[in-house]
Structure 1
Amino acid sequence: MKHPRPAAIAAVVAAPAALAVAFAWAGGWIGPKRLGGGAIADALEYNGGSHPGYRRAHAKGLCFTGVFEANGAGASLSRAAVFEAGSYPVFGRFSTAGGDPFATDGRNVFHAMALQITSPEGEIWRLAMDHTPIFPVATPQAFVELQRASRPDPATGKPDPAVMKDYLSRHPETKAYQDYIAAAPLPDSFANGTYYSINAFRFIDSAGEARAVRWSFEPETPLTVLDKQRLKEVPTDHLFDDMRERLTHGPVRWRMKIVVAAPGDPKSDATIAWPSDRRTVETGVLRIDRAGPEEAGLCRDVTFDPTILPAGIGLSDDPLLPARSAAYSSSFRRRAVETPGPSAVGKSLGAH
């Protein structure tokens, strides 16, 4: 049995104060003036419509539980306890992009995986990842602009072409993302997608040395893809039903790989991928054992805020990180005073 280390005990004692400072910083109450989480949540509602009781983004989701089996290699990069060789409990959520909890799965949008990994000392690490290695915008302001410019016209289901053209003329990074997702293979399952941190973070080792990193979870399940010419034929809950069916036959696994930045790699721009030849360290295996609707899962009332980090992992200067934290907090506060909506996929999934 592992005994808590002095550093871990100190980290747990200090956690409430650290979280209070983090939330104040994320909310813009201290530090430089930033776009507030309420403004971001408003933009998401403007784009996706009003769906009380649901998340303002990634509204359609599925809870899961499992373990992270660390191989010990990550301890050379970070002193975070979850990189020491061992098994650590995990719960999380699969979701699809957008604010409509009843949207069809036959859309060419990113799939997402969110996790919470807990150390024996009780330290929490929350990760929120997409199956694309880049993000469409680099700043919170651009994100809000994009939500407003891409709002679907109820008559056509598509954004106003003139408004979108004007936005893209000022944001070539979003056009690059659109070109990428149009050409990239679209996984036909949550189980066979690779999930990326997108944002950069800082890993601090036992000697105090910090390194900029990103990470990915690469599936052991071979990739098969959806035919984009036939997306309208995809059943509404295809991705969610598929995951339930797969898990009746056994666990699904991903290998966690940490990518270490080289000098000159962008640390604060999530629209730019790092070159593929960067140093990569495989740190363990994520194993998912069970999945079920949010009403019966651990994930429903959790914000997968990527700024909630254990000792040994820190934030980069990416401006999207505090904005994500603030937006998740605002969305949670709104949901907290609304009647929780039934899982969009609960009826088909049952209580597996």
Structure 2
Amino acid sequence: MTDERQESRPPVRTTGRWVAIGVIVAAVAAVFGYVGGWLAPERLTPKRIVDELQSTGGEHPGFRRNHAKGICVTGRFESNGALAAFSTARLFAPGNTPFVGRLAIPGGNPYAPDGSIPIRSFALRFDLADGEQWRTGMNAMPVFPVTTPKAFYDLTVATHPDPATGKPDPEKAKAFFGAHPETGPFLAWIKSAKPSASYATETYRSINAFYLRDAGGQRRAVRWQVVPEQGPEGDGGAAAGDADFLAADLMKRLGQGPLRWHLQMIFADPGDPVDDATKVWPDGRKLVDAGTVVVDAAEAQAAGPCRDVNYDPMILPRGIEPSDDPLLPARSSTYADSFLRRTSEEAHVPGTAHPKEARP
């Protein structure tokens, strides 16, 4: 596997390539966080990683430190009951469950052009009938670049833009990737990744693995994805001259009717890596279509229902459990730090008569 990953890495030839990689690294930082104490004695805490995100995205009080630009969506999950045999979560029993979601682009700048980053994200909070919740943050990418919090922190340092040039130091980036062959699948993906022209046509993946537990106590490792019923349109490029085309496209599509994605659970085979987000599972794994995610409406995040939601991936109902992937508790702690910052800044959002209506 190591040799295959090394062969898949694109050659390093231009500073421009490292600039692009730096942008992507900043973009996927929302699927990573830091748990304090993991690198004692120099403790790398959630505060430090969020500080790094903030320094990259700029000062935008009241906004998320990553995935700052987005739009709220609401709808329901229509379960077909097919997953009920594998999980006791009431979400998977036949019937409907409401959700509050958010579609977004990565990065800490809420005014960034939609075409600046070739990743879109889809976060969901399902409100189960028994009072439990399931929160998940998914991304339109197949793998994560590194396996551990330590490696990710080193990656952010190696690709942080130099204040003098505004670009990553190509030698630092080259040294990091040369020392981390596990980044090969990620580098191969971003080599050809392009910004999509619509939130509605993306497939969003959990990337990290989790477990489903059934009524008999049996536990099975899974990853999930939501696959659109809406087929791709156009060439997948950004709309010419429009920096905010994603929200406009979404509203136009919703004006013609609800948007639908199929929630699919992919089951690991014995030996498949469950704690390594840099590795894909081979094709042909057992797949169960659990039902349909239906988006009925969307509204601006400033006063929308997703504004105050922390899409912590460790908030799980009974019947879904975290794997031992070290990125999961790290994501949770960093999301919490970012949430506390932006909510405490509510009264400091400039240029608004009613600050609460301005906070995302």
1:53 and 2:59 aligned: no
SS of the counterpart of 2:302? Answer: helix
48 and 171 in structure 1: CA distance in 2 versus 1, 3 angstrom threshold: farther
Corresponding residue of 1:62: 71
Q: Report what 1:90 is aligned to.
A: 99
The Cα of 1:171 is off from its aligned counterpart by: 2.3
Question: What SS class does the counterpart of residue 188 from structure 2 fall into?
Answer: helix
Give unpaired runs (5+ residues) of structure 2. 1-33, 351-360
Cα distance change, pair 334–245 in 1 and its aligned pair in 2 (3 A): same
Q: Alpha-carbon deviation of 1:341?
A: 5.0
State the distance in 2 between where 1:291 and 1:238 align.
14
Q: Secondary structure at the match of 1:223?
A: coil
Distance 2:234 2:349 in 1: 31
**Alignment coverage as a number of residue pairs:** 315
Distance 1:158 1:247 in 2: 39
Which residue is equivalent to 2:258? 251
Given that 2:143 and 2:185 are in contact with CA atoms closer than 8 Å, whether structure 1 keeps it comes out as no
Alpha-carbon distance in 2 for matches of 1:293, 1:136: 31
Q: Does 1:291 align with 2:298?
A: yes
**CA deviation after TM superposition for structure 1 residue 35, in Å:** 4.6
Match of 2:173 in 1: 164
Q: Is the 8 A contact 1:47 1:150 kept in 2?
A: no
Q: 1:106 aligns with which of 108, 115, 128?
A: 115
**C-alpha distance in 2, partners of 1:147/1:56?**
15
CA apart distance, 1:295: 2.1
Q: Does structure 2 retain, via aligned residues, the 8 Å contact 1:46–1:147?
A: no
How far does residue 148 in structure 1 lie from its aligned partner after superposition?
Answer: 2.4
User: Normalising by structure 2, what TM-score?
Assistant: 0.82
CA contact (8 A) 1:47 1:147 kept: no
In the alignment, which residue of structure 2 is the partner of 1:303? 310
C-alpha separation in 2, matches of 1:156 and 1:222: 41
- Taking the aligned partners of 1:209 and 1:38, their CA distance within structure 2 comes to 38
Which amino acid in 2 is paired with 1:140?
P
Q: Report the equivalent of 2:273.
A: 266
Whether 1:203 aligns to 2:204 is no
Kindly provide the amino acid, as one letter, of the partner of residue 228 in structure 2. Answer: P
Per-residue deviation, 1:213: 0.3
Is the CA contact (8 Å cut-off) linking 1:90 and 1:118 kept in structure 2?
Answer: yes
- Aligned to 2:85, which of 57, 76, 89? 76
| Maintained 8 Å contact 1:113/1:195 | yes
Change (3 A) 1:266 1:53: same
TM-score by length of 1: 0.83
Say what the alpha-carbon RMSD is for the aligned residues.
2.4
| Deviation of the 1:310 alpha carbon | 0.1
SS at match of 2:67: coil
Aligned AA (1:202):
Y
Q: Structure 1 counterpart of 2:286, which letter?
A: R
Asked if the contact 2:72–2:298 (Cα under 8 Å) also holds between the matched residues in 1, the reply is: yes
Aligned partners of 2:36, 2:239: CA distance in 1, in Å?
42
Contact 2:239 2:245 in 1 (8 A): no
1:108 CA displacement? 3.7
Q: Distance in 2 between matches of 1:240 and 1:42?
A: 28
**AA in 2 matched with 1:213:** V
Q: Take 1:206 and 1:249, find their aligned partners in 2: how far apart are those partners? A: 41
Q: State, as a whole percentage, how many aligned pairs show the same letter.
A: 46
1:122 equivalent to 2:120? Answer: no
Alpha-carbon distance in 1 for matches of 2:295, 2:154: 36
* Residue number among 235, 246, 253 corresponding to 2:242 in the alignment: 235
1:271–1:29: structure 2 CA closer, same or farther, 3 Å change rule? closer
Structure 1 gap ranges (5+): 1-25, 343-352
